[in-house]
């Protein structure tokens, strides 16, 4: 299984005030808060940790079929700025992040999986519906190319806990994948 | 506080963060913050903090865990108001 999350740093800077009273305590453990305040750019560390939590949560929901909202429960440990582990309810997920000036993209998997196909892309239109459609189109495009299937036969439908699943005509495919979009950026990750 | 008053007040709180106008117009007890209103999960933290400020209550992480829908938020608020 796989999860991924992308954070548009320019959007995050205006959309969320991480310095707002109460925000850090709701989201981050003491250990994570120490990481934030000891890092050179606390803002970046906030969103590295956030995307680690979010990508790990996406796998956890696939495994348990139970949704919840408690980011603090997903506990991060960092081996380096780009590699870490997230632990929740006794489960551990390995994360890898790509960081640049524009975005942070994190992929979470069950073990250090090398067979991951992942891409980030730019989105012109930042309206949610357009981004959503565009991201689905990108994923369907790559699935079509990779497995030589007709685009028109491939669909994505969300299950009852909101996890997207791939369908070939009406047959559910077992392909594990994850889609994310935020602001001007989108991303997907597929397990080969 | 009546159910309707509670919904009105929640509607005002979530408004700045919603990304689906249609779902917002149709907001009811059954509305899901993320699946329906498309509220960004980081902004859901803001919703929780705004609820705390508006109702002068403290929402612990255990209670927050359930707050994915209008209905669940209403239950948490009602419980916390009674405890005051």
> What pLDDT does A167 receive?
97
Range(s) of the domain holding residue B37: 3-83
Distance from CA of B60 to the nearest CA of A (A): 8
> What pLDDT does A177 receive?
97
Q: A128–B20: do the CB atoms touch at under 8 Å?
A: yes
> What pLDDT does A153 receive?
97
Place of tokens 């390995």: A94
Residue spans of chain B under pLDDT 70: none
Between vectors from CA A184 to CA A36 and to CA A76, what angle results, nearest 5°?
25
Of B35, B49, B68, the CB nearest to A20: B49
> What pLDDT does B21 receive?
96
| Chain A residues with CB within 8 Å of chain B CB | 12, 15-16, 20-23, 26-27, 50, 54, 67-73, 127-129, 158, 162, 182
Asked whether residue A113 carries a pLDDT value surpassing 80, the answer given is no
State the Cα–Cα distance between residues A8 and A47, nearest whole angstrom: 9
Q: Which of A5, A8, A26, A57 to mutate to test the interface with B (most CBs of B within 10 A)?
A: A26
What's the ipTM?
0.95
Number of domains chain B is built from? 1
Average pLDDT over residues A14-25: 96
Whether B68 has its CB under 8 Å from any CB of chain A: the answer is yes
State the Cα–Cα distance between residues A48 and A103, nearest whole angstrom: 10
> What pLDDT does A114 receive?
74
> What pLDDT does A42 receive?
97
Average pLDDT over residues A51-61: 98
Contact residues, chain A, for B45 at CB < 8 Å = 16, 23, 26-27, 71
State the Cα–Cα distance between residues A89 and A60, nearest whole angstrom: 9
Q: For A60-92, what is each residue's pLDDT tens digit?
A: 999 999 999 999 999 999 999 999 999 999 999
Could you tell me what percent of chain A has a pLDDT over 90? 93
Whether B30 has its CB under 8 Å from any CB of chain A: the answer is no
Q: Could you please report the per-residue DSSP string of B34-83?
A: TTTT---HHHHHHHHHHHHHHHT----HHHHTTTTBHHHHHHHHHHHHHH
> What pLDDT does A111 receive?
83
Q: For A35-50, what is each residue's pLDDT tens digit?
A: 999 999 999 999 999 9
The residue length of chain A stands at 192
Contact residues, chain A, for B18 at CB < 8 Å = none
CATH architecture of A2-116: Alpha-Beta Complex (3.90)
């Amino acid at each position: 299984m796989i999860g991924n999350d992308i954070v548009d740093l320019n959007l995050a800077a205006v959309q969320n005030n991480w310095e707002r009273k109460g925000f850090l305590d709701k989201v981050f453990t003491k250990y994570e808060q120490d990481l934030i305040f000891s890092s050179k750019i606390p803002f970046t560390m906030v969103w590295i940790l956030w995307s680690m939590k979010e990508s790990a949560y996406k796998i956890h929901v696939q495994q348990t079929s139970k949704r919840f909202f408690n980011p603090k429960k997903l506990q991060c440990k960092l081996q380096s700025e780009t590699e870490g582990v997230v632990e929740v309810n006794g489960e551990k997920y390995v994360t890898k992040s790509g960081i640049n000036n524009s975005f942070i993209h994190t992929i979470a998997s069950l073990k250090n999986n090398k067979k991951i196909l992942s891409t980030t892309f730019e989105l012109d239109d930042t309206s949610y519906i357009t981004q959503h459609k565009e991201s689905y189109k990108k994923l369907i495009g790559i699935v079509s190319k990779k497995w030589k299937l007709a685009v028109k036969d491939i669909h994505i439908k969300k299950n009852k806990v909101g996890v997207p699943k791939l369908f070939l005509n009406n047959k559910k495919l077992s392909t594990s994948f994850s889609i994310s979009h935020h602001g001007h950026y989108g991303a997907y990750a597929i397990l080969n | 506080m009546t159910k309707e008053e509670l919904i009105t007040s929640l509607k005002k709180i979530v408004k700045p963060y919603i990304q689906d106008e249609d779902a917002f117009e149709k907001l009811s007890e059954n509305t899901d913050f993320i699946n329906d209103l498309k509220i960004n999960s980081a902004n859901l933290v803001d919703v929780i903090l705004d609820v705390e400020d508006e109702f002068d209550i403290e929402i612990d992480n255990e209670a927050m865990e359930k707050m994915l829908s209008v209905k669940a938020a209403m239950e948490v608020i009602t419980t916390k108001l009674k405890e005051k």
